[in-house]
Amino acid sequence: MADAHVSSETQRFIDKDMHYGAHNYHPLPVVLTKGEGCFVWDVEGKRYYDFLSAYSAVNQGHCHPKIVKAVCDQAGTLALTSRAFHNDRMGDMLKKISEVTGFPKVLPMNTGAEGVETAIKAMRRWGYRVKGIPANKAEIIVAKGNFHGRTTTIVGFSDDPGAYADFGPATPGFVQVDYDDLDALKKAITPNTAGVLLEPIQGEAGVKMPSDAFLVGVRELCTQNNVLLCWDEIQTGLGRTGRMFAWQHACAKNPGCTFKGDCPSAGKACARPDLIILGKALSGGLYPVSCVAAKEEVMNVFDPGSHGSTYGGNPMAAAAAIAALEVLIDEQLCEKALALGVKAVARLQAGITSKNLKEVRGRGLMLAVEFTTPNAHDVAVELMEHGILAKDTHETTIRFAPALVISEDDLNAALDKIIAVCNTY
């Protein structure tokens, strides 16, 4: 097992965290104090390539100056009003998200899990009020291997014991099926099915990528059965996979479109959802911002008092989100991620020759290296020693997700180190 070399200064910070905090995370033994672009620095001044990007929350890079300025300017003007009153920033944020997603209505929240809970409530209420499902009988289909957050409702439909153990009883109304299995999904749909909630790429499961045919097939099944399709794009969305949203890769006739108006792929190869959940990079890492964007038919099920959040849509969140989306578009980060991702996957596939390598996979700059042996944590520790911060998952897989602003030279320099370390395992 790889041993981390931790100084007394670093250990001092770690000890304080462990003494006063709950042990609900097992972070790598590094204490960070500064971030800029694709780099972070620890308390001893060592620089690292950040290849986790806060689970893709900092797609725009650490402390992007445009987003920082927007947040700081707003913080000195008006930070919070609650939703008891209007503020002069939320409308602009909602308009921007609507333009980017192609959906007419947006409901702002704070965290990704809150976004998922919002989508669940929307699908259930739509099921009762629009589809006509009998009271308290609505079902939502989810996939095995899913990760949608940490609330009691959400962990109740996880199949990972680390997420749900001793947090029961599970909330009823959720049906699990195998991921990337259209036949299983088809069999699970009943007259009481209100929605299907899926990740277009399963991140926490180890960057598990379904076929494009699966994404299109899910859309077709939902349409045929009057069921809502919700893509959870909290981690995969906003440029990470080389499109604004990961589901767009499946649209053969017009890849990358946002489907404003008539869809040129409709009826042919379309994976457009009825509602979408966004978070993480929606603020560029500067502030917790999430939302659900949806068709009017779905969003109109909410009425005053039925759902809300004190902080949701606050002026600082709005300023951060507007700037974060502008950075993605103005700096063409989706296109950059797509081009760099193709090169990164090719380099990793050609360079890693370890006999324990199972697979290299990825889309855009959402990458994974999976081993046949349960040594991923050791690899992560060894990478840290060599100046690369990444995170293991499910014992055999290392995920890599650099900021989309990373230069090709920096990416290649980091890949040199990654390949060298992986080849020792």
pLDDT at 262 over 50: no
pLDDT in tens, 274-303: 999 999 999 999 999 999 999 999 999 999
For residue 105, which of 117, 122, 130, 120 has the smallest C-alpha distance? 122
Mean pLDDT of all residues in 314-323: 98
Set 232, 274, 378, 392: catalytic member:
232
Question: With helix as H, strand as E and coil as C, how does 331-374 read?
Answer: CCHHHHHHHHHHHHHHHHHHHCCCCCEEEEEEECCEEEEEECCC
- CATH number reported for the structural domain that contains residue 73 in this entry: 3.40.640.10
Set 103, 147, 157, 245: catalytic member:
147
Catalytic site residue 417? Answer: no
pLDDT in tens, 347-395: 999 999 999 999 999 999 999 999 999 999 999 999 999 999 999 999 9
pLDDT confidence tier of residue 253, bands split at 50, 70 and 90: low
Cα–chain center distance at 267: 28
Residues 369 and 326 in one domain: no
Answer yes or no: is 393 within a domain: yes
pLDDT of 263:
55
Query: Range of 149's domain?
Result: 65-330
Answer yes or no: is 76 within a domain: yes
Catalytic site residue 157? Answer: no
Question: In what order do the strands lie in the sheet containing 139-143?
Answer: 105-109, 290-294, 275-278, 228-232, 193-198, 139-143, 174-177
pLDDT confidence tier of residue 323, bands split at 50, 70 and 90: very high
Residues 108 and 212 in one domain: yes
Answer yes or no: is 3 within a domain: no
Set 96, 280, 336, 391: catalytic member:
280
Domains identified in the chain, total number: 2
Mean pLDDT of all residues in 320-345: 98
Answer yes or no: is 410 within a domain: yes
Answer yes or no: is 1 within a domain: no
Q: What is the pTM of this model?
A: 0.96
Catalytic site residue 280? Answer: yes
pLDDT at 1 over 80: no
Residues 183 and 291 in one domain: yes
Mean pLDDT of all residues in 342-348: 98
